[in-house]
Amino acid sequence: LEPQDRELAEAAIEATKGSYAPYSGFNVGAAVRLDSGLIIKGSNQENAAYPSGTCAERTAMFYASAAYPDNAMVSIAVTASQNGNLCVNPATPCGACRQVMAQYQTKGGRPMSILLVGDGKIWKFEKVDDILPLIFDSI
Ligand code: THU
């Protein structure tokens, strides 16, 4: 793994510590790299009103866009742990998070790469189109 990807994967693992998942026990961490080099972390935040909770990826991306609206997101890493142990299989983003990735990729005007991080196994995709075919981007 390139040093920048390794750093982002480690930030995603670090981000799982902020997860609030009392219902699923599935602690997801995400880390977004901005074009400035800054890394923004997010984690899943659950709620007793289940649909009010949000995924790690959207927590990170919404924070990145809200706090740094002029910076493109160049990469996002995602990982998950259960009972304090990194999951063996890489966490794969839900459809809603892929759609949100797609739009921030368009907003940023450059490809957003995706790193799905498991314990000893990492899948890398160069752009959102590779994990979301037929992207909806027009209204
Ligand atoms: N979750 C994420 O945060 N990201 C994913 O990619 C998959 C699912 C969260 C949502 C919920 O808090 C928990 O994992 C179980 O679905």
Q: Give the model confidence (pLDDT) of 105-135 as tens digits.
A: 999 999 999 999 999 999 999 999 999 998 8
Residue nearest to atom 1 of ligand 1 (CA): 55
Q: Is the CB of 57 under 6 A from ligand 1?
A: yes
pTM of the model: 0.96
39, 47 contact by CB (below 8 A): no
Q: pLDDT band at residue 88, thresholds of 50, 70 and 90? A: very high
Share the mean pLDDT of the chain.
Answer: 97
CA distance 102 to 98: 6
- Strand, helix or coil at 90? coil
pLDDT tens per residue, range 14-49: 999 999 999 999 999 999 999 999 999 999 999 999
**pLDDT score, position 139:** 73
Residue 57 catalytic? yes
Task: Say yes or no: CB of residue 94 within 6 Å of ligand 1.
Answer: yes
